[in-house]
Chains A and B, each alone.
Chain A
């Protein structure tokens, strides 16, 4: 009797995980992540120390401690998103056309598993690993920030879940592109999409700072068109949403501070968007001759 779709999907996920272990992918990721966190810890140490010296021990209208903590942790959040996006893209690189062109895919697809289950299994594996990765790195960076500078974000878990959903969306986009494009083009396009999203987010930041409605509208439209950026920006905002006074204002205008809270319906839209991208990928895959 043929196995159930869930059982087949778990078989593919387990196969991918075993490949990651055997090819020492996870070992390399772990080593680089430890290096990143060490660098982050060193940077946080100097940021907190120099911010205190900069303040000269006097209490001004700007809270140097909160400013240092939010800025360095905002940087950590950006780096975590970037590392998670790299992981999501590489775990889905060549998943359909690339593997089909090399002859890896056909022996698996002719099995009873079916194309949609195969695609969802690849997504589940890549998105699950990438999401778990960003949550772990984010929480590790938060723990380091608290230990080194005695600073914690105003909201801890919301931004972590936003990051997890953001990299899952990137994995879905990358998977769709793997059905449509050859490997190299897939990698290039998905990173260009990622970069475009972040650039649009920065444009919105600038728009807010100089009170430009046009830039602000462009930024908001990009957040909805590429919701991983909206989730990231909303996460940055949540880190400092309770910080008041000039410190809060300055942080919101900075590159690692979000000026806007999550728009109503953003998370629901992000989930619908991800499912829509996956449905499109499954449809395109079902029509593709291998």
Chain B
């Protein structure tokens, strides 16, 4: 795995005695796109907020580029879009980005603002005021705002919840472009298909704990190998495509005749539902 841009170890958070995070370990490397899945109230937003210094952990360690989360150098290295955010209605898109450029010390000027607005499909809306924008446009503006100053780590909490399919495709393309530029992304989302499409790794959180983690292929690929022989149909659980020749060879060596072999895939949704135990927040 690439060197960790975000490193979280034994992270715990309690709100008035109620655990929101109960010891989470997670790393996100440079250029890596990690999807964080889990039911409402599982602790995804809390983890993200600790990473950007909005919430103080009860125990454990959270670091951005080796600096404590929330410290000035850590904050300087990240961009963040909250699940529930609001920008001043009187501000134009251009003014909002200029404000964040000044706060990050970005020297990108008008060229950076134009590039970012173009990236999120708001190139024609630079002078449009926030209060005149749809929720989807505001969300795309929020992503552009998070990208001001070329952050090394991007923390996105449900960034596509208000977007239509076209907006989602724009954001998906944007995230893939960020990976090529070496930006680490932690993406909180309820949209499993989206996470499966763009993320290098997926972490599933339930009741404040990390219950599953791996690449989408690893998580979704362990559906087993189904084999039909003289003795009937049987499922070799936990086996994958690479195990199929060995399974067939063993059966033939044992004197069985094999009529059909099928590598089964469980979807990310199956894995998710199994991991969270049907829990919903």
Contacts and interface: CB of A to CB of B under 8 A. Distances in A.
A12 B41 CA distance: 33
A110 B86 contact: no
Give the interface residue-count category, chain A. 20 to 34
B49 interface: yes
A2 B107 CA distance: 10
Contact of A3 (B78, B86, B105): B105
Interface in A81-110: 102-104, 106-110
A111 B86 CA distance: 16
Nearest to B103: A111
B273 interface: no
A66 B68 CA distance: 66
A290 B73 CA distance: 19
Contact of A11 (B49, B81, B99): B99
A8 interface: yes
B26 interface: no
Nearest to B54: A290
A203 interface: no
A106 B54 contact: yes
Nearest to A12: B103
B54 A23 contact: no
B49 A290 contact: yes
A102 B86 CA distance: 7
A112 B104 contact: yes
B121 interface: no
A107 B95 CA distance: 14
B103 A106 contact: no
A210 B99 CA distance: 58
A3 B148 CA distance: 14
Interface string A248-290: 0000000000000000000000000000000000000001011
Given A1-B105, A110-B53, A104 B88 contact: yes
A18 B85 CA distance: 21
Given A2-B72, A2-B76, A289-B54, A103 B103 contact: no
B75 A111 contact: yes
A118 B48 CA distance: 21
B96 to A, nearest CB: 9
B127 to A, nearest CB: 14
A107 B105 contact: no
Interface in B52-91: 52-56, 72-73, 75-76, 78, 80-82, 84-88, 90
Nearest to A114: B72
B95 to A, nearest CB: 8
A35 to B, nearest CB: 25
Contacts of A23: 90
B105 A2 contact: yes
Nearest to A290: B54
29 contacts: A1-B105, A2-B105, A3-B102, A8-B102, A8-B103, A11-B102, A18-B95, A22-B90, A103-B82, A106-B54, A106-B82, A106-B85, A107-B80, A107-B81, A107-B82, A107-B100, A109-B54, A110-B52, A110-B78, A111-B75, A111-B103, A112-B75, A112-B76, A114-B72, A114-B75, A287-B56, A289-B15, A289-B49, A290-B55
Given A111-B100, A289-B49, 6 more contacts: A2-B73, A8-B102, A102-B86, A289-B54, A289-B56, A290-B54
